[in-house]
Chain A
Amino acid sequence: MPERLSFHIKRDSALHHLNPLTKLLLVLTLILTAFLAPFYWTPHILAVLFIPLLSILGKVGREYFSTAIRLILPAATFLFAMQAFFQPVGEEIIFEFYFLDITRESFLFAFSNAMRIVVMVSAFTIFLLTTHPSELMSDLTRRGLPGQFAYVIISTLQILPQMQAKAQTIISAQRSRGLETEGGFFKRAGALVPLIGPLVFGSLVEVEERAIAIEARGFTSKHVKTSLHEIPDTSTDKLLRWFLTALILASIGLRIWLS
């Protein structure tokens, strides 16, 4: 059976027990400070010191570092190289490679931009690792997000792996009837055609049935929805949210004031 599409890891940590909205605000604060704070070293400190500490606090350090090494660092390195080589600023050349060169300014610019991206992706990664998607959605629904919107997000996460499995079944069925799916690029591309029809039209038919099924269970009922799981929202959460809001305002304020 295919796994569900969720990064969430069930652990018992301070970060797991925070309200999803607080965590979402924390992510936003990290991103905004990394991009807006007027001090050059802010994104670097966040990326190298704060984010790893946060992942350890959330007891997802191992998972975070493995994602960072396999995904975030290569992407950031690539971004750094592109910007460092092609940013047409500065005079003082510190590295040359045929027609490509890096200046002091483009190096610093590219480095801090790469770090900002690291902070952004890392913050989201830790958020996803410590937050169950349905918990996030029920919390946001409780705070006024339309139920339909939350449903679309959550069901997509669940239904994608199912569609993947179905695509596999269709491919196997077509192969058993003699369709060649291996070989060169064009052969493989051609093999996709008999897959797309059944998959797409089949899914459209399913949508109707699923709509009936959830409607039969009161999905559009005008009652105020309740939630099976109680989602924690403590006074610590509220305090933390005020603090984070203040931080966001401060970094915006500083930016405007110093520029």
Chain B
Amino acid sequence: MAFVNFQNVTYKYPLTKTPVLKNINLQVNEGEFIAVMGPNGAGKSTLCYALAGFVPHFFKGEISGEIEVDGKKSSESTLDEWVLNVGLAFQNPFNQISGAKYTVFEEIAFGLENIGVPRNEMKDRVDEAMALTGIRDLADRSPYSLSGGQQQRVALTSILVMRPRLLVLDEPTSQMDPIGTREVFGVVRKMAEEGMTVVMVEHKVEWIAHFADRVIALNEGQVLMEGKPNEVLTADLLPEKGFGISRYTSVARQAQQQGLWKQKQLPVTLFEAAEGFTSKGGGGSN
């Protein structure tokens, strides 16, 4: 039995006419790192809310099918119980700052205060989480005085500190520079290796190819493709449906049409492209 299990999930927000999620079937194993990608309006954020229990418990609306995490059914649970198992961090970091705290350290401790963690343990856990995401030097700053990227790290840390079994991230690196992005992917990968299950919506395909175990391509509320990162990210179908793809894939695809790319698999990252063009049987030598 998979750790996360979506069975024929169809969902419609209260004020919309057409469903946002259409008949979604999805299985995620414990400790797996899944990346979800898709064009605007594909239902990525709604999928995140559904995983985190906010669909339907917070947004209401009509839902059919069954969502299960760790053997528990979302329909039979309440939101306040659900969030203990499933952590959610989303795109806009500014709105994720609680507003009830004056320093970053207190901000990260906010969730632990709410679930009644004793004071000493709380301090240790906040320290540990801040060290993990590399924001220890921000501890005494006001969360509002930080840059967008720093705020996103604080938002991620605030969720990590609660040690959810399933971590749901909706574009957690949208305001980060490449170094920040790399670090966040590194942290998430590490958490997955320690047994945390991760579902992350992300557009940065090269990082997905490098770090994720599996990719789900979502389009118009349905799962268009799923599979190993390199298979999904290099599929011909993606650019046709308006997905952003790696420039290295595009280049290699053009090269392939002209007979210059001779590998079976198209590349996603710069490294794969360089390797493919220069290796034996590749096209780089002429």
Out of B92, B123, B159, name the residue touching A216 (CB < 8 Å): B159
Which A residues fall within an 8 A CB radius of B? 1, 4, 6, 132, 134, 147, 150-151, 154-155, 158-159, 161-162, 206, 209-230
With A1-B144, A212-B54, A228-B109 as contacts: A217 and B79 at CB distance below 8 Å: no
With A162-B144, A216-B159 as contacts: A225 and B114 at CB distance below 8 Å: yes
B228 to chain A, nearest CB (A): 30
Q: Is the CB of B158 within 8 A of A226?
A: no
Q: Is the CB of B116 within 8 A of A134?
A: no
Residue B6 at the chain A interface, CB threshold 8 Å: no
CA distance A212 to B118 in the complex (A): 24
**Residue interface bits B125-161, CB-to-A below 8 A is 1, else 0:** 0100000000000000010110000000001001100
Q: List 25 A-B contacts (CB under 8 A).
A: A4-B142, A4-B144, A151-B100, A154-B99, A155-B100, A206-B95, A209-B92, A212-B49, A212-B54, A213-B97, A213-B98, A213-B155, A214-B110, A215-B83, A216-B52, A217-B110, A217-B158, A218-B162, A219-B114, A220-B80, A223-B115, A226-B113, A226-B117, A228-B109, A228-B126
Closest B residue, CB atoms, query A6: B102
Residue B26 at the chain A interface, CB threshold 8 Å: no
A227 to chain B: which residues have CB within 8 Å?
Answer: 113, 119
Which B residues fall within an 8 A CB radius of A? 49, 52, 54, 58, 79-80, 83-84, 87-90, 92, 94-102, 105-106, 109-119, 122-123, 126, 142, 144-145, 155, 158-159, 162
A133 to chain B, nearest CB (A): 8
Q: Is the CB of B95 within 8 A of A210?
A: yes
Q: Is the CB of A214 within 8 A of B101?
A: no
Q: Is the CB of B122 within 8 A of A228?
A: yes
B117 to chain A: which residues have CB within 8 Å?
Answer: 226
Q: Is the CB of B83 within 8 A of A218?
A: yes
Q: Is the CB of B83 within 8 A of A155?
A: no
Q: Is the CB of B80 within 8 A of A158?
A: no
Q: Is the CB of B115 within 8 A of A212?
A: no
Out of B89, B96, B115, name the residue touching A221 (CB < 8 Å): B115
B92 to chain A: which residues have CB within 8 Å?
Answer: 209
B50 to chain A, nearest CB (A): 13
A18 to chain B, nearest CB (A): 20
Closest B residue, CB atoms, query A214: B98
A12 to chain B, nearest CB (A): 17
